[in-house]
Amino acid sequence: MVLMYRSNGNFEAFGRPLKPEGVDGRKAYFVGAGLASLAGAVFLVRDAQLPGSQITIFEELTLPGGSADGILDEHKGFIIRGGREMEAHFETLWDLFKSIPSLDTPDATVLDEMYWLNKTDPSTNPVRAIQNRGEHIEHMPDLTLTPKAVQEILTLALTREEDLDDKRIDEFFGEEFFASNFWLYWATMFAFEPWASAMEMRRYLLRFIHHIATLADLSSLRFTRYNQYESLIKPLVAYLEGHGVTFQYATQVLDVLVTDQGGTKTVTEMKLLVGGTTGGTEGEAGGSAGLTNGGEEQTIAVAPTDLVFITNGSITESSTFGDNDNPAPIVTDRGGAWALWKTMAERDRAFGRPEKFSEGIPEANWTISATVTLTDDKIAPYIERLTGRDPRSGHIITGGPCNIKDSSWLYGFTMSRQPHFAAQDPEKELIVWLYGLYSDKPGDYIKKTIRECAGWELTAEWLYHLGVPVDEIDDLAKNSASTIPCNMPYITSYFMPRAAGDRPLVVPEGSTNLAFIGNFAETVRDTVFTTEYSVRTAMEAVYTLLKVDRGVPEVFASSFDVRMLMNALYYLNDQKPLHEIPLPFGGRLIEKAALAKIKGTYIEELLQDARLI
Residues with catalytic function: 85, 204
Q: Which residues of 367-397 are buried (b: 16+ CB within 10 A; e: fewer)?
A: bbbbbbbbeeeebbebbeebbebebeeeebb
Query: Phi-psi bin for 133: left (phi > 0), alpha (psi -120 to 50), beta?
Result: left
Cα–Cα distance measured from residue 31 to residue 516, given in angstroms and rounded to the nearest whole number: 10
**How far does Cα 611 stand from its chain's mean position?**
33
Where is 23: in which H helix or E strand? none
Residues facing 403 on adjacent strands: 129, 412
Cα→Cα distances 493→327, 365, 500, Å: 22, 10, 16
Residue 397 phi/psi, 5° resolution? Answer: -105, -70
Cα–Cα distance measured from residue 558 to residue 536, given in angstroms and rounded to the nearest whole number: 17
3-state secondary structure of 500: coil
3-state secondary structure of 609: helix
Query: Beta strands 264-274 and 402-404: pairing type?
Result: unpaired
Cα-Cα-Cα-Cα torsion 291, 295, 301, 303, nearest 10 degrees, comes to: -40
3-state secondary structure of 27: coil
**How far does Cα 414 stand from its chain's mean position?**
15
Helix ranges (DSSP H) in 424-521: 455-466, 470-479
Rg (CA), the chain: 24
Cα–Cα distance measured from residue 426 to residue 381, given in angstroms and rounded to the nearest whole number: 15
Contact 214, 205 (CB under 8 A): no
Beta strand extents in 338-473 (DSSP E only): 368-374, 402-404, 411-414, 430-436
Cα–Cα distance measured from residue 554 to residue 168, given in angstroms and rounded to the nearest whole number: 27
Q: Which residues of 436-465 are buried (b: 16+ CB within 10 A; e: fewer)?
A: bbbbebebbbbeebbbebbbbbbbbbbbbb
Cα–Cα distance measured from residue 293 to residue 63, given in angstroms and rounded to the nearest whole number: 18
Residue 202 phi/psi, 5° resolution? Answer: -65, -45
3-state secondary structure 148-211: HHHHHHHHHHHCCHHHCCCCEHHHCCCHHHHCCHHHHHHHHHHCCCCCCEHHHHHHHHHHCHHH
345-349 contacts: CB < 8 A, separation 24 or more? 345/504, 347/258, 348/258, 348/260, 348/265, 349/501
